[in-house]
Amino acid sequence: MVKQLHLLLILFGSLATLSNPLLQAQNAATENSILGKWINQAQTTVVEFYKEGNTVSGRIVWLKNNNQAIDEKNNNPKLQNRPLRGINLVASALYNGTNQIWEKGVIYDYENGTNYNCQMWLTNAMPPELHIKTYGYLSLFGTTTVWYRPPQDHPIYKGSR
């Protein structure tokens, strides 16, 4: 019984470590490190992060399957005809310099029209990785996606060189 309890505590501790961005974000991120373009792991969406006062937001600048797609799943009927390209996917994330994470942000899931809370952090991986954790009320139960800088030959850069 004691052995089982010990194993359970080790497992819980491991899960808490894996889900805690503060323990994963061991790098030299600065407040502006996140700025610029990032592509998701599925390579379907490019978001450009920019400063907005003392927060960071990120707007959709490219969609693989349809750059003319509209926000048809939005819960607000008045917004269902707006183009997805140009809307903020991430809004109002505050940089926490002590922990080197962006927190208290909101992320919009345009596939189901829902807003979630989010935290973001950069890793020391090469190439650099941006981790975006989305969650409802408790970050412990969130989902993390990984984003990368788009390669220089990506269609997002065509015509901008």
| Residue of 104, 102, 148 whose CA lies nearest to 121 | 102
pLDDT in tens, 92-118: 999 999 999 999 999 999 999 999 999
Identify each DSSP E strand in the chain by its residue range.
Answer: 36-40, 45-52, 55-63, 88-96, 101-109, 114-122, 129-135, 143-148
The residues of the chain scoring below 50 in pLDDT are 1-19, 21-26, 160-161
The CATH number for 77's domain is: 2.40.128.520
Number of structural domains the chain divides into:
1
Cα 90–chain centre separation:
7
φ, ψ dihedrals at 129, nearest 5°? -120, 135
What the block records as the tokens of 143 is: 């989902």
Domain assignment of residue 43, given as a range: 2-157
pLDDT in tens, 142-157: 999 999 999 999 999 8
User: Can you give the pLDDT at residue 28?
Assistant: 60
